[in-house]
Amino acid sequence: MQSENSPAGTGARRADPAAYRIDTGAARHGIEPFALEFSGSGGEFFRVWIVNLLLNILTLGFYTPFARRRTAQYFDGHTLVATSPLEFTAQQRKMVFGFLLLVAIYIAFKVAAETGQETTTSVLLLAGAALAPYFWASAMRFRLSATRWRGVRLQFTASWGEVYRASWPVFAIALTWIAVLAAFAVLAPEAPEPATPAARLALPWLSVPPLAWLLVAGALVATFLCVVRLEFNYKSLLVSKARIGAQSGRWKPVYRNFVRIWLATLGVFVAGVLVFIMLVAALVGGSIAAFAGGAKPMGPGMVLVIVAAGFAFLFGMLLASAPARAYRQARMFQLIWNNVGVSSIARFKCSLGTGRFVLLRLKNMFLTLLTLGFYRPFAMVSEYRMKTQSVTLHVKGGLDQLAGQLAHQQDGIGDAIADAVGLDLVG
């Protein structure tokens, strides 16, 4: 296993270029295709993963920035792009500072919320919403500038004005729901307090006029479209404003491509949920009716059974959504890596199979559950390998054209916040 200071390993650095060059007719026209490779293994990464897990437990989570750096170094160091490995060069102290600042912000919010400081909580929420684009852009600057290929750092060069203009869907969603709440106050004023608990439960729903529900439906549709638009804006900004040396990224997808993928994902999700409900109905059978027809009052055991059934249902719904999440990830990966490039001298092509990736994700979930989570590092490696090795880089005029000036590394706060909210690089 490689040392932390040499993540790529000797074997990766001495790789034979001919092993990754694809023999096609394109090479005769000055375009060389190179298949991306991942040289890591599940067993090797398991040793990194288990040490990270144990140290995180022992330090109550404060080993997280060190674990993230070791993980990034492992995956980047074993990823070969046109025969050369990537390198993750982020300074550890900056990642630690960003993580501690994130923890401090979270603690301040929790203290304000639990001590009844509504004004402070509201201010923190509003500040968080206003600063979310800043955090995202800081994360992208940090991550790209911490990634190096052939001695060249990547950069994210978007201005703050461009970042906030791309973030308009966030503010559109907030304004939409503020308007809906205001409309509810007008269309459904408070009714007198009902006398019985059943009436108290039913009256709020029955007293809302159809027009108000129509507004809610419209707001949900608008929110969906804004979420899709936000993802499109951020990914397009990330690619088009990314640079490697003196070369900028090239972006071709359009908004409707993202809408189609999200709608298809919604269809897969609904189908998965329906299958899950039918399976539950078939397994449960008449159990509910039998319980309802019993003469004995509900005791503590029955309450526990109902609570356990509720948790099992929520967990089952999570499993039912797994095919949809894997489907969306595969389709989005295909769309992006088939339509991005580096200036006019390089482009990418992707051959990832959607069905194969969904089946791999389902197999990994099953084995992870069966092993109580210990299959997780093997699952991460297998999915990363399938995605990475489905991408081919086509370079026009030789690899040296991708070299240029280095990017200045930024601070680590954005990286910590991006990890908390699940942001990642393209695809």
pLDDT in tens, 218-231: 999 999 999 999 99
Residue 294 lies in a domain: yes
Residue 156 lies in a domain: no
Q: How far apart are CA 329 and CA 346, in angstroms?
A: 24
Residue 297 lies in a domain: yes
Residue 295 lies in a domain: yes
Determine the pLDDT at residue 408.
Answer: 45
Determine the pLDDT at residue 6.
Answer: 44
Here the tokens at position 220 are 């949900």
Burial 137-174 (b: 16+ CB within 10 A, else e): bbbbbbbbbbbbbbebbbbbebeeebbeebbebbeebe
Closest CA to 342 of 240, 425, 255: 240
Burial of residue 300 (CB within 10 Å: 0-12, 13-18, 19+) is exposed
Residue 211 lies in a domain: no
How many helices (H) and strands (E) would you count in the chain? 16, 11
Contact 79, 36 (CB under 8 A): yes
For residue 321, what are the domain limits? 263-325
Residue 122 lies in a domain: no
Distances in Å between the Cα of 162 and the Cα atoms of 6, 155, 209, 241 are 37, 15, 41, 10
Determine the pLDDT at residue 116.
Answer: 66
Here the tokens at position 300 are 């503590």
DSSP label at 21?
Answer: B
**Weakly modelled stretches of the chain, pLDDT under 70:** 1-29, 116-118, 121-122, 185, 187-208, 284-307, 309-310, 397-427
Domains in the chain, number: 1
The contacts of residue 139 (CB under 8 Å, 6+ apart) are: 414, 415, 417, 418, 423
Residue 9 lies in a domain: no
Length of the chain equals: 427
Determine the pLDDT at residue 121.
Answer: 67
Contact 336, 253 (CB under 8 A): yes
Determine the pLDDT at residue 248.
Answer: 86
Here the tokens at position 75 are 């995956």
The conformational region for residue 424 under phi > 0 = left, psi -120 to 50 = alpha, else beta, is beta
Contact 77, 7 (CB under 8 A): yes
Here the tokens at position 59 are 């330090």
Burial 225-234 (b: 16+ CB within 10 A, else e): bbebbbbbbb
Here the tokens at position 401 are 């054209």
Residue 380 lies in a domain: no
